[in-house]
């Protein structure tokens, strides 16, 4: 059974009285443990597709099954529970809260899991060590470099042990060297069993995925698998 299965999914936005079809009849399966890159020009539908797979948005038509369960018609509350249980998200902007320490930032998603403060902070420190930041748990975001802040964001995304890590242009605000360090970290997490789906316009990023989906004008026009290259 596929982890993610989309069947004839469309997404239409209406600006004023004019409908705009962002996704057109998308049929797609993602297996558990895959590392997938979504590529294409700006406006091709990459981020919209990621948002639908991550239950941040819903299709206008079609079906979305997550582990065999139809999620397309679930309520906002049900979708929020699915996001908290199954998914972690990393974005181009790190979205860290400046008034909280690094460990407190990572621990925030665990509040919804019912863990006590002590347990949350202990797990946050373990996750920060996993991304190589065990020495800065008491620091604040403004004290860290961009690459370190993105590592914190990744640790936060792993807070509830997600089945899927979604990343939308995660290296967009980073220099090339730091960006490759982040991509290398994604590869490591994938090797450890996390399914990774990343939106990118950067071919250097996409070449480290096992599978590359190419979108154009809301349709999938390419789906290729290849041997991944180690990040430099």
Residue bearing the bigger pLDDT, 99 or 176: 99
Name the residue ranges covered by the structural domains of the chain.
32-60+76-225
Whole-model pTM? Answer: 0.91
180-215 pLDDT per residue, tens: 888 899 999 999 999 999 999 888 889 999 999 999
Q: What are phi and psi of 68, to 5 degrees?
A: 85, -5
79-126 pLDDT per residue, tens: 999 998 899 999 888 889 999 999 999 999 888 777 788 999 999 999
Give the integer Cα–Cα distance in Å for 146 and 141. Answer: 9
Q: How far apart are the first and last CA of the chain?
A: 34
Average pLDDT over residues 147-173: 92
> The domain 32-60+76-225: what is its CATH number?
3.40.50.300
Q: Is the pLDDT of residue 229 over 70?
A: no
Task: Supply the pLDDT for residue 171.
Answer: 87
Strands 219-225 and 211-216: antiparallel
């Amino acid at each position: 059974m596929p982890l993610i299965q989309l069947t004839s999914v469309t997404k239409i936005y209406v600006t004023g009285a004019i409908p705009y079809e962002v996704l057109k009849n998308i049929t797609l399966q993602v297996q558990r443990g895959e590392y997938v890159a979504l590529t294409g020009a700006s406006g091709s539908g990459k981020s919209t597709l990621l948002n639908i797979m991550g239950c941040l948005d819903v299709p206008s038509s079609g079906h979305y099954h997550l582990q065999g369960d139809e999620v397309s018609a679930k309520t906002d509350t049900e979708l929020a529970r699915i996001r908290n249980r199954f998914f972690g998200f990393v974005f181009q902007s790190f979205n860290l809260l400046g008034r909280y320490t690094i460990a407190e930032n990572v621990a925030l998603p665990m509040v919804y899991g019912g863990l006590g403060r002590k347990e949350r902070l202990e797990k946050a420190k373990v996750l920060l060590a996993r991304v190589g930041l065990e020495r800065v748990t008491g620091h604040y975001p403004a004290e860290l470099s961009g690459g370190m802040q993105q590592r914190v964001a990744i640790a936060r995304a792993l807070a509830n042990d997600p089945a899927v890590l979604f990343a939308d242009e995660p290296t967009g605000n980073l220099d090339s060297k730091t960006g490759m360090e982040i991509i290398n970290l994604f590869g490591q997490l994938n090797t450890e069993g996390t399914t990774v789906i990343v939106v990118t316009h950067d071919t250097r990023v996409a070449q480290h995925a096992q599978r590359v989906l190419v979108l154009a004008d809301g349709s999938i026009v390419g789906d290729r698998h290849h041997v991944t290259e180690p990040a430099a």
